[in-house]
Structure 1
Amino acid sequence: MTTQPFLYVVVCAAGIADDAHKLITAAQDKGWGVGVVATPQGLSFLDTEAIEAQTGYPIRSAWRSPGDPRPLPPADAIAVAPATFNTINKWTAGIADTLALGILCEAYGMGIPTAVLPYVNTAMAAHPAYGRSLDQLRGMGVLIGSYEPHWPKTGGGADRFCWEEALELLEDKIADSPRR
């Protein structure tokens, strides 16, 4: 018996985060249920009312208290978009100081297919830690999007950011999900 696959969209604090609804719409059009997990800083970039109305779930940004119900179904896959320099480097270092990072660190051990769409500028991407982190994520089986870093202080390359690429990367992986 198949059930609707469920996608966690992890949103970080980047100027294009307010377009996360594009990924949510594309996922829903492909039959996914969607829940959003935002980094604490990323939360302020989102229209929370609109996102919660679109998904039917509250946006998660903080840990729940013991005994509280889980507000989202278990994830069949995770898309991190947009993924910032900070989140990418903390994730590979195993730092789980936010709910979003805790979910990402745990997903590796649970075998949850994960795609990441980095959104960084060229100055940040030049830092040696960034390249090492992308290599480490690839080694962990994380699927990495093709966005090329934009020039600093230019407003970014929002017109080149392909939200749907996360779904394309995950397409083959979700067929093997234990919930399918």
Structure 2
Amino acid sequence: MTTPTLYLFCAAAPPIHYVAEAIENAQARGWTVCLGLTPTAATWMEDHLAGLEALTGHRVRSTYRMPEDTISWPAPDVICFAPITTNSLNAWALGLTPSWPVGVVVEAVGKGTPVVAMPCMNQALAAHPQVDRSVAVLREMGVAVLYGEGGWVPNPPGQGRPAEYPWHLAVDAADRFVPQL
């Protein structure tokens, strides 16, 4: 039996500073984890990329590969985009591909790859009507969006709680797609 592969994609939101804990949690559950970051998230984590690569055993990716580059990651069994920002969430729901991770999940839905998304946004951003539309579109496409009760609940602006981001809920949702875990 092979170890299932989880692509963990992260956008630039404060919980990203705790991504190593999420990776370790997934690995303890039996996942091989490949970490992908939006370009801004990669900038935020620049000083930690070598450690994250050592932890996962795979190169951290944040950009589209060149045609001559070989694919270095195993195929995903599940993709989890957490934290996903308002920008990435809305782009994905609209079918836009402004960054490599968003492009991958847009394509993943078409391929039938299971995808989990857990936003991280404050109440002011969440109040924009496009957010609810985007969540509804993604759910209609079969994406497990962990938003609201049982997932991410937006906090008031300026009162973030990145250490409390419920990474375990995203990994729990990914686990449900792979019966042997």
TM class, shorter-length: over 0.9
Which residues in structure 2 correspond to 1:159-174 (within 5 Å)?
Answer: 159-174=163-178
Alignment correspondent of 1:22: 21
Greater Cα shift, 96-105 or 166-175:
166-175
The Cα offsets for residues 12-60 of structure 1, whole Å up to 9 and x where unpaired, read as 0011211111211111001110111100001122221111110011111
CA positional deviation for 1:76: 0.6
CA positional deviation for 1:110: 1.0
The Cα offsets for residues 146-167 of structure 1, whole Å up to 9 and x where unpaired, read as 110011122x122431101112
Paired AA for residue 170 in structure 1: A
Q: Give the TM-score normalised by the residue count of structure 2.
A: 0.92
Any idea what SS the aligned residue of 1:16 has?
helix
| Pairwise CA RMSD | 1.5
Ranges of 4+ aligned residues in structure 1 off by more than 6 Å = none
Paired AA for residue 141 in structure 2: M
Distance of 1:71 and 1:97 partners within structure 2: 22
Alignment correspondent of 1:122: 123
Alignment correspondent of 2:49: 48
CA positional deviation for 1:171: 1.9
Any idea what SS the aligned residue of 1:164 has?
helix
Paired AA for residue 38 in structure 2: T
Aligned length: 175
Is the CA contact (8 Å cut-off) linking 2:18 and 2:163 kept in structure 1? no
Name structure 2 gaps, 5 residues minimum: none
Distance of 2:164 and 2:54 partners within structure 1: 27
Alignment correspondent of 1:9: 8
Any idea what SS the aligned residue of 2:26 has?
helix
Name structure 1 gaps, 5 residues minimum: none
